[in-house]
Amino acid sequence: MSNAADTPSFVSSSRTRRRAVVAGTVCLVLGTAACGGSGSAGADATAQSHGAISIWYSNNAQEVTWGKQVVAAWNAAHPTEKVSAQEIPSGKSSEEVIGAAITAGTEPCLIYNTSPASVPTFQQQGGLVPLDTFSDGAAYIEARAGTADSQFVSPDGNYYQMPWKSNPVMIFYNKKVFKSAGISTTAPPLGSYAEFLATAKKIVSSGAAKYAIYPAPSSEFYQSWYDFYPLYAAESDGKQLVVDGKSTFDSDAGRAVAAFWSQLYAENLAGKESYNGDSFADGTAAMAIVGPWAISTYEGKVDWGVVPVPTSAGGGGDTVPTFSDAKNIGMYVSCKNTGTAWDFLKYSTSVAQDGKLLELTGQMPMRKGIETQYAAYFTAHKDYVTFAAEAAHVVEVPNVPNSIEVWQAFRDAWSSSVVFGKTDPATSLTGAATKIDQLVAQ
Amino acid sequence: MTTTVTPAARPATGHTPGSRPRRAVRLSRAVLGRQPIGLLFGAPYALFVAVLFAYPLGLAVWMSFRRYYFTAPGVEVARPFVGLDNYRAVLTDPAVRRSFVNIGLFLVINVPLTVVLALLLATALNAAIPFRSFFRVSYYVPYVTASVAMVGVWLSLFGSGGLVNRLLGSLAPDPSWLINAHWAMPSIALFVTWKQLGFFILLYLAALQNVHKELYEAAEMDGANRWQSFRAVTVPGVRPATTLVTILAIITGANLFTEPYLLTGGGGPNGASASPVLIMYQRGIEQNHPDVASAIGVILVLGVLVVAAVQRLVERD
């Protein structure tokens, strides 16, 4: 098992090629994608050489459109520093593909879909370039990201990711279903747990939808970001899962959230089986807990409304904290031309390009005052105003060692107690907290 | 006229002329076999096995005794020898132990079911029945269809509001199949049996072509009915195929991953359908602990070898 003492050093050695072959073979054995090339030595950000670079971006249609236009604009203005771009190769998850690519030394200079939860692992692999090694690195990040940047500082004090975009997780509701259940479609009673539960019961008992809400009940480590974590952020007034090396959820706030979801599952108001498709778009569930990225998938299928996630007391409005579901930009060590990569990173996160991102994807750039910065967009797209308001109050995943293992430990406890009711939720939270504290301390 | 031929004097060394080349031939035959060109034909596959199976297996064994995590090329980290620590961590992990119990249950259901159904259906498809080609293709289609697509069909069939539960009515289990701690793994075993059946039927069909028709005629003359003929002629006649089917079913079953990952949402409910390979994926790929994942893999390989050896011993007896 690894521990924090194993700080990797960026040393090129004669064993590089052999290690790359070994790494590639290991990837092959374990069935990962994006392996297969020979490796290269770690990049030295301070060298800042210039030339052609490659980037990866997400594979959803909106982000592909954004990616293509930013690359085209850059290439037109920088003929000697061409950027080639492609979608992240397919795999079980982007994080798995990126991890395998780092191991094989085949990752591009920049990846515009770096999950903050995976940053500690990529950092442990020695796969990320600390962005504050660029002379204007820290200043640029802090200037563009504002207060959001503090949640992305790694335990060693460096920035290994450029905050990019958030998708504040909120409650979407199907107006047609609500109407047929006799519930207000303009001000649905969903603010407090009591109101939410009463509304959920009304939906299911009326037969308007089979389930009130249907977050994925499966055991993947990241699923707690779409049931527990947004509500915990709201209930705890913006606490992260782990603060100062200690878990925070074995508390009144954590127990309240667990009890709320337990009731939804126990009364069959939320689905417990894997769902083949999108339960909200299909009309199987009346509500979804998701960020604005999903809006494009509901077009033409659902007449939706959106409200903040509930709290036990209710009445938080659109300033109640929620999970950010952010994706950031990472610079990776195989990059030879880090100078160009840094320049392109700044270009692609400029005011103009952030505006394009908002316009083309509906996702919120993680910047100060986006409501005023992009006022014209929000005037034209009133549905998105509430997400912009929430974007200023988002909570990120904690940037801690063994981050994925921490979330898996939490998910296992959650599945066992809250989803399937095999153990007492409060006891499970205590057990998970103990385990997570040990993992973070390693 | 008689000609006397005087043999040439023997060389001082005591060797007959030409003995050196003969020895060289013998040596080359011992090393290269009677048809050295066979080695040339076999070399690509030998290389394939060495590079893609033997070397990774050796590497996995090495990793399982080290503290190891994936790093970028050129990044130097210590890989200290940790003895049996990874094995200790694995064997004391309740999730891992449960996954081995789960896979044991899976094999107990899947392997016998596969052998019996594949043999019965192959026998039926080998007989002159109407629409034989159609049935042969039908059984093979699930095998060549992507698991992801098949999983979608089974989610619809075995979901709480699915066709199976509607047919069963009040007899349907509650909670439903895939979220029921008792039924999740048997459901997966059933799914995998159905999906793989076409391949094993194919193996049996090939084996059935080697069972002499005279044996069936002799059995018929002795008054054997169809069932007796099946037991006395078919089953012994395809015994080598049965060995192959059993071992392949054990090996593929022990490598179970896609079905618990997709069908039961990551080995649910609550780990009831988690398989060792799924846990390896979580530990090795998601959490970057390939050392622990390798230890699980080595234990799994040893387990499969033991089960296969026992199966061979039982069959010999």
In this prediction, residue B19 has a pLDDT band, given cuts at 50, 70 and 90, of low
Return the percentage of chain B with pLDDT > 70, whole number: 93
The answer, yes or no, to whether residue A328 has pLDDT greater than 90, is yes
Name the residue of chain B whose CA is nearest to A93's CA: B286
The answer, yes or no, to whether residue A165 has pLDDT greater than 90, is yes
The answer, yes or no, to whether residue A8 has pLDDT greater than 80, is no
pLDDT given for residue A368 in this prediction: 86
Residue scoring higher pLDDT (B129 or B240): B240
pLDDT given for residue A147 in this prediction: 63
CB-facing half-sphere around the CA of A210: CA atoms within 13 A: 12
pLDDT given for residue A164 in this prediction: 95
Q: Lowest mean pLDDT: which of A220-229, B139-148, B192-201?
A: B139-148
Residue scoring higher pLDDT (A23 or B265): B265
Residue scoring higher pLDDT (A32 or A147): A147
- Substitution target in A26, A124, A222, A333 with the highest count of B β-carbons within 10 Å is A26
Name the residue of chain A whose CA is nearest to B87's CA: A1
Q: If you average pLDDT over residues B255-268, what whole number do you get? A: 90
In this prediction, residue B17 has a pLDDT band, given cuts at 50, 70 and 90, of low
Residues from chain A contacting residue B286 (CB–CB below 8 Å):
93, 95-96, 221, 404, 408
In this prediction, residue A429 has a pLDDT band, given cuts at 50, 70 and 90, of very high
How many Å apart are CA A237 and CA A255, to the nearest integer? 14
The answer, yes or no, to whether residue A2 has pLDDT greater than 60, is no
B52 contacts chain A (CB < 8 A): yes
The sign of the CA dihedral A277, A117, A129, A136 is positive
pLDDT given for residue A204 in this prediction: 97
Can you read off the two tokens belonging to residue B152?
């979608």
The answer, yes or no, to whether residue B280 has pLDDT greater than 80, is yes
Residue scoring higher pLDDT (A288 or A4): A288
Q: Which helix (H) or strand (E) holds A304?
A: strand A304-307
Phi, psi of A121 (to 5 degrees): -70, -45
Residue scoring higher pLDDT (A241 or A13): A241
pLDDT given for residue B155 in this prediction: 87
pLDDT given for residue B121 in this prediction: 93
pLDDT given for residue B29 in this prediction: 80
The answer, yes or no, to whether residue B6 has pLDDT greater than 70, is no
A 408-437 residues with CB < 8 A to B: 408, 412, 415-416, 419-420, 422
- Domains detected in chain A: 16-166+325-395 (3.40.190.10), 170-323+401-441 (3.40.190.10)
pLDDT given for residue A243 in this prediction: 94
Q: If you average pLDDT over residues A399-416, what whole number do you get? A: 94
CB contact under 8 A, A1 and B266: no
Which residue of A29, A216, A415 is in closest CB contact with B60? A29
Mean of the per-residue pLDDT values for chain B?
Answer: 89
pLDDT given for residue A339 in this prediction: 95
Tens digits of residue pLDDT in A189-201: 999 999 999 999 9
Residues from chain B contacting residue A422 (CB–CB below 8 Å):
181, 270
Name the residue of chain A whose CA is nearest to B59's CA: A26
pLDDT given for residue B317 in this prediction: 63
pLDDT given for residue B76 in this prediction: 87
Q: If you average pLDDT over residues B70-90, what whole number do you get? A: 94
pLDDT given for residue B58 in this prediction: 96
pLDDT given for residue A33 in this prediction: 37
How many Å apart are CA A119 and CA B95, to the nearest integer? 26
Mean of the per-residue pLDDT values for chain A?
Answer: 88
Q: Give me the residue spans of the domains in chain B.
A: 93-316
Distance to chain B for A19, nearest Cα, Å:
6
Which residue of A16, A412, A415 is in closest CB contact with B73? A16
Contact A217, B264 (CB under 8 A): no
A24 contacts chain B (CB < 8 A): no
CB-facing half-sphere around the CA of A78: CA atoms within 13 A: 19
The answer, yes or no, to whether residue B90 has pLDDT greater than 90, is yes
Name the residue of chain A whose CA is nearest to B54's CA: A29
Tens digits of residue pLDDT in A280-306: 999 999 999 999 999 988 988 999 999
pLDDT given for residue B25 in this prediction: 79
The sign of the CA dihedral A429, A430, A435, A436 is positive
In this prediction, residue B7 has a pLDDT band, given cuts at 50, 70 and 90, of very low
Distance to chain B for A73, nearest Cα, Å:
32
Evaluate if pTM is beyond 0.90: no
CATH topology of domain B93-316: MetI-like fold (1.10.3720)
Residues from chain B contacting residue A219 (CB–CB below 8 Å):
265-268, 271
The answer, yes or no, to whether residue A62 has pLDDT greater than 70, is yes
Tens digits of residue pLDDT in A246-278: 999 999 999 999 999 999 999 999 999 888 889
Nearest to B86 by CA among B67, B61, B62, B58: B67
A 235-264 residues with CB < 8 A to B: none
In this prediction, residue A348 has a pLDDT band, given cuts at 50, 70 and 90, of very high
A77 contacts chain B (CB < 8 A): no
Q: Please tell me whether the interface predicted TM-score (ipTM) of this complex is above 0.90.
A: no
Q: What burial letters (b/e) apply to B277-311, b meaning 16+ CB within 10 Å? A: bbbbbbbbbbbbbbbbbbbbbbbbeebbeebbeeb
Residue scoring higher pLDDT (B219 or B9): B219
Tens digits of residue pLDDT in A10-58: 333 444 444 444 444 444 444 443 343 333 334 444 457 999 999 999 9
